[in-house]
Structure 1
Amino acid sequence: MSTDTLRKSAPASSVTQTAAGALIAAVHTAAARINFTAAIAVTDQGGHLKAFDRADNAPFLTAEVALDKAWTAASFHIPTHRWNDYLANPRVAPLAGHSRLMAVGGGYPTIENGRCIGGLGIAGGSYEQDQ
């Protein structure tokens, strides 16, 4: 194969700042409705922070947890709550030692037209509230 025809890059879509802000606003509205305060992180498709907000009364640890949930979701394009089942498999269990992997509810890939464009991480409530 000639290097003239070899594709050297792939297009990568990313969540926009406007969409990230809208996600954060929607989560704060939903969190208030079910009575908890949240930290919300939105990452791009590579897991890099795009937008973040932490409610005044949300514990400070929620900031790091929300970012790691968004990172985990963007990394494998699956919700973070699904990791519990995966980590039960001894062949996958060693990944539990990865410092950023969050195997709890509240992390979701942001999908547009079938492609992952980022991650959303929510922390501050119970497992069910974050999810």
Structure 2
Amino acid sequence: MHVNLENAEKAIEAARKKAVELKTQMCIAVVDSGANLKAFLRMDDAWVGSIDIAIKKAKTAVFFGMATGQLGKLSQPGKPLYGIEHSNEGLITFPGGLPIVDDDGVLVGAIGVSGSSVENDHKVAEAGVKVLGVSELPEHPWRT
């Protein structure tokens, strides 16, 4: 099952509202469960470089079914996934990407946000996910 266009647009709008509240400009991407871009928004004056980062954060979150910040913790030197960011044509392993999990616990897509501090990126991504479901799968082997 994939996130549909209506829900992807709801997530983008909720995330955009949070970005406005935080007084920042963001790039916001939603991908389906196959990591295909479903919806995208580049707010006025958002950095051009954040386009690629937002999309890659969303793809990273759906590829591994976890928040990009969580993957980042596992990919530090000496940790089990060190170097993973070089796979899959480049992953992003800092906060701002979250899986979208529906009420049945099914991964249906992900959201990626870039354009501010990683803390703000994460808050904006959370706002986008919140209107659709949750961001954690019920069981995950890498959960720490």
Alignment TM-score, normalising by the size of structure 1 = 0.87
Aligned letter for 1:86? L
Mean CA deviation greater in 66-75 or 79-88:
79-88
Structure 1 position 118 matched with structure 2 position 109? yes
Deviations 1:51-75 (A, max 9, x none): 1010011010111000000000011
Rg (Cα) greater in structure: 1
- Across the aligned residues of Structure 1 and Structure 2, the Cα RMSD in angstroms comes to 1.1
Structure 1 position 41 matched with structure 2 position 2? no
Q: CA deviation at 1:91?
A: 3.8
Structure 1 position 95 matched with structure 2 position 88? no
Give 2:126's aligned residue.
none
Alignment TM-score, normalising by the size of structure 2 = 0.79
**Distance (whole Å) between structure 2 residues aligned to residue 91 and residue 114 of structure 1:** 26
Which runs of 4 or more aligned residues in structure 1 lie more than 6 Å from their structure 2 counterparts after TM superposition? Answer: none
**Distance (whole Å) between structure 2 residues aligned to residue 20 and residue 96 of structure 1:** 26
Give 2:139's aligned residue.
none
Structure 1 position 106 matched with structure 2 position 96? yes
Q: CA deviation at 1:90?
A: 4.5
Aligned letter for 2:29? A
User: Quick one: which of 19, 32, 37 aligns to 1:31?
Assistant: 19
| 3-state DSSP of counterpart to 2:25 | coil
Aligned letter for 2:13? A
State percent identity of aligned pairs: 29
Aligned letter for 1:96? E
| 3-state DSSP of counterpart to 2:2 | coil
Where in structure 1 are there 5+ consecutive unaligned residues?
Answer: 1-12
Indicate if the aligned counterparts of 2:74 and 2:80 stay in contact, CA closer than 8 A. Answer: no
Q: CA deviation at 1:100?
A: 2.4
